[in-house]
C-alpha cells in the first residue's frame, strides 16, 4: 500500500472518529442469480450472496466494506472490499465522490488490487474514473438514470479487458420486503472469444 493511500486512510479514520457521534450507519444484503462486475461474471455464472455496511459522517467522509462469494477456478472463494472517501454536492447541483477502494481475495492474494476513484454527477448523469494502482488497469464509466422511472443505463471501458453496457430497471414493488432489480449486461472483450452477456435478477435489502 503506497504512502498516499496510508495517509488518506489515516485522515479518514481521524475525521470519522471526531464525527462518530453524528455518523450514519447503513447496511445492505443482496441475492442475485450472478455476480457481474464491469460486464464479467465473478461467480462462473452461478448465484451470489453479497452484503456490506457503510458509516458516513455529516462532513462527507465515509468508509465501509462489502463482500461476495466468487468463483474463478482457483483458491479464491470470497471477495472482500474496503473503501473510504469523501462525497458531497456543490451549490450548483454537481455531486462529487473521491475515494480509495481495495479489492481483496482471501486465499488468493495474487488477485488483490487497489483503485483511487473520482465520480462526478449532475441531474441524471454521472461519470466515474477509477485509476488502477501498481499497474492495475483504469476504468471509465458513464451512467444515466432515466428520471424517476427506475430505468438506468451504464457504459464502461475497462482498460486491457473490454467495454461493457448495463441496462437496469428497479421494479416499483417489493417481495417479502426485498426490492427487485432486473438488468441486462453485455461485455465486449478486447480478446477474441471472451464476450459475455447475462440477464440478472437481484433481490436486495
What pLDDT, on the 0 to 100 scale, is given for residue 109? 93
pLDDT in the model for residue 5: 52
Print burial letters for 108-142: b (CB count within 10 Å at least 16), e (below 16).
beebebbbbbebebeeeebebebebbeebeebebe
Rounded to whole angstroms, the Cα distance separating 156 from 127 reads 9
Whether residue 147 is predicted with pLDDT greater than 50 in this model: the reply is yes
pLDDT band at 47 (very low <50, low <70, confident <90, very high): very high
- Write 114-117 long-range contacts (CB < 8 A, 24+): 114/1, 114/5, 115/139, 116/5, 117/85
Nearest in space to 93 (alpha carbons), one of 66, 121, 67: 121
Q: Classify residue 9 by its DSSP letter.
A: H
CA–CA distance, 94 with 77 (Å, rounded to integer):
39
What integer is the mean pLDDT of 5-17?
52
> Residue 181: pLDDT above 70?
yes
Considering the chain, what is the average pLDDT of its residues? 91
Which tens digit of pLDDT belongs to each residue from 109-120? 999 999 999 999
What is the pLDDT averaged over residues 192-203?
A: 91
Q: Which of 191, 145, 138, 190 is nearest to 163 (CA)?
A: 190
Q: Which of 137, 167, 197 is nearest to 129 (CA)?
A: 137
Q: Is pLDDT at 141 greater than 60 in this prediction?
A: yes
Lowest mean pLDDT: which of 2-16, 21-35, 160-174, 182-196?
2-16
Looking at residue 18, its pLDDT comes to 46
- The DSSP secondary structure of 113-166, one letter per residue, reads EEEEEEEEEETTEEEEEEEESTTPPPEEEEEEE-TTSSEEEEEEEETTTEEEEE
Instruction: Give the C-alpha distances (Å, rounded to integers) separating 53 from 37, 93, 102, 168, 181.
Output: 19, 27, 15, 23, 20
> How far is Cα of residue 40 from the mean position of the Cα atoms in its chain?
13
Contacts of 107 (CB under 8 A, 6+ apart): 75, 76, 77, 78
pLDDT at 23: 83
> What is the per-residue pLDDT for 192?
75
Going along the chain from its start, the domains and CATH numbers come out as: 3-204 (2.40.160.40)
- How does DSSP classify residue 193? T
> For residue 162, is pLDDT > 50?
yes
- pLDDT for residue 69 is more than 90: yes
What is the band of 148 on the pLDDT scale with cuts at 50, 70, 90?
confident
Q: Which three cell numbers stand for residue 179?
A: 426490492
pTM score: 0.89
**Range 29-40 average pLDDT:** 98
Amino acid at each position: 500500500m503506497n504512502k498516499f493511500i496510508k495517509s488518506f486512510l489515516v485522515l479518514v479514520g481521524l475525521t470519522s472518529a471526531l464525527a462518530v457521534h453524528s455518523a450514519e450507519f447503513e447496511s445492505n444484503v443482496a441475492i442475485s442469480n450472478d455476480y457481474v462486475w464491469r460486464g464479467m461474471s465473478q461467480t462462473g455464472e452461478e448465484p451470489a450472496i453479497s452484503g456490506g455496511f457503510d458509516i458516513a459522517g455529516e462532513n462527507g467522509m465515509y468508509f465501509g466494506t462489502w463482500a461476495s462469494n466468487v468463483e474463478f477456478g482457483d483458491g479464491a472463494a470470497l471477495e472482500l472490499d474496503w473503501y473510504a472517501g469523501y462525497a458531497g454536492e456543490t451549490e450548483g447541483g454537481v455531486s462529487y465522490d473521491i475515494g480509495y477502494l481495495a479489492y481483496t481475495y482471501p486465499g488468493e492474494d495474487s488477485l488483490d488490487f487497489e483503485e483511487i476513484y473520482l465520480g462526478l454527477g449532475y441531474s441524471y448523469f454521472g461519470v466515474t474514473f477509477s485509476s488502477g494502482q501498481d499497474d492495475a488497469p483504469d476504468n471509465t464509466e458513464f451512467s444515466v438514470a432515466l428520471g424517476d422511472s427506475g430505468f438506468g443505463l451504464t457504459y464502461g471501458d475497462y482498460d486491457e479487458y473490454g467495454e461493457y453496457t448495463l441496462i437496469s430497471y428497479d421494479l416499483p414493488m417489493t417481495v417479502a420486503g426485498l426490492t427487485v432489480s432486473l438488468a441486462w449486461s453485455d461485455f465486449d472483450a478486447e480478446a477474441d472469444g471472451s464476450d459475455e452477456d447475462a440477464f440478472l435478477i437481484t433481490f436486495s435489502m
